[in-house]
Amino acid sequence: MRIEKWYLDSVTPDGAGIIAYAARAYLGPFSAAFSEELEWRAGSPLVRGRAVPGGRLPTAAPDEVRWGNRTLGIEGRWLSGLNPIPSLVLHEEPTGRIEWTCFRPAASTTVRVGRENRNGLGYAERLILTLPPRKLPIRELRWGRFIAAEQSCVWIRWQGSVDRNWCFHNGGFVEAAMPDLHLLTWPAHRLQLETGIVLRTGCIADTALKGTGPLRWLLPASVRNLQETKWCSRGVLTDSAGRQHEGWAIHEVAIFG
C-alpha cells in the first residue's frame, strides 16, 4: 500500500484562510482519492469544511505548486518564497517508510475560492507513506507552521514507540524546545502563539474522512479514530537581534486511537 497526501494552506494579511488536502491511496492495481478544504473569514469563528471523493494531486515545479478542484470550487498557486526543505525520511523500517517534503515553507499565494480571489502567504508539503498505517510509530503528533515577512518556521514533534522532533527556521534545521502548545524556542529565538481560533476538533472519522468514500476503509481503526484539534493563530517570532516578526501560524495536535 502507498499513500500520497498533500497539505496546502494560505492565510491573508487580515487572517482569512484556507486549508486544502489532496490524497490518493494505492493498493495493488486499485486506487482511491479524496480532496478536502477548510475555509474561514477574517475575524469569524465559523469554519466551513467539505470533503469529496476523487480529485487530482497537486503539481510541483521549481518555482510554484499548483492545485485545484472543480467540485470544491478552488484553484490555487503557491509561488516561489523560501527554498524547499529537502525531502526527509522521517521513519523507516523493513515494511516501509514515511517520507516528507516541504515544497513551500513560505510562499506567496493566489487562491480562488468560488468567485473570490485571495492573496496571502502559504505553505505546501507532501507526505508519502509506504509503511502500513497500522504500524505508524506515533501516539501523539504536534505539527505547525508559522509565516511572516521573510520568516518561516515549521515543526514536527511526535511521541510514541519512537520520540522525534524536527524544527526548521527559514529552511534550516534547528534544535528547538516546545514547552507548551503556544511556545517554541531555539537558540536566540522565540516563537509565541496566541490562542487563535479552532479550525476543527474531534474524531477525523466524523470530520476529515466523512466524505472520502472508500478511502476511509483502507485505513486502520487507529487512524480512523484519530482525535485532532487544529488552530489558526497570530504569532510573533523574536529573532537573535531582538526584532519581532508578526505573522500567522496554523498548528495542530493529533492523538492516535
Tell me the three-class secondary structure of the chain, residue by residue.
CEEEEEEEEEECCCCCEEEEEEEEEEECCEEEEEEEEEEECCCCCCEEEEEEECCCCCEEECCEEEEEECCCCEEEEEECCCCCEEEEEEEEECCEEEEEEEEEEEEEEEEEECCEEEEEEEEEEEEEECCCHHHCCCCEEEEEEEEECCEEEEEEEEECCCCEEEEEECCEECCCEEEECCEEEECCEEEEECCCEEEEEEECCCCCCCCCHHHHHHCCHHHHCCEEEEEEEEEEEECCCCCEEEEEEEEEEEECC
* Whether residue 215 has pLDDT greater than 60: no
Nearest Cα residue to 58 out of 76, 38, 73: 76
* Whether residue 222 has pLDDT greater than 70: no
Q: What is the pLDDT of residues 16-64, one digit of tens each?
A: 999 999 999 888 888 889 899 999 999 888 999 998 999 999 999 989 9
Could you give the CA distance from residue 141 to residue 200 in angstroms, rounded to a whole number?
A: 15
The overall pTM is greater than 0.95: no
Other beta carbons less than 10 A from residue 43's beta carbon: 9
Chain centroid to Cα 113, Å, comes to 19
* Whether residue 210 has pLDDT greater than 70: no
* Whether residue 10 has pLDDT greater than 60: yes
Burial 129-149 (b: 16+ CB within 10 A, else e): bebebeebbbeebbbbbbbbe
Mean pLDDT of 209-227: 65
Domain residues of the chain, as ranges?
A: 2-255
pLDDT at 29: 84
pLDDT at 218: 60
pLDDT at 94: 95
pLDDT at 220: 60
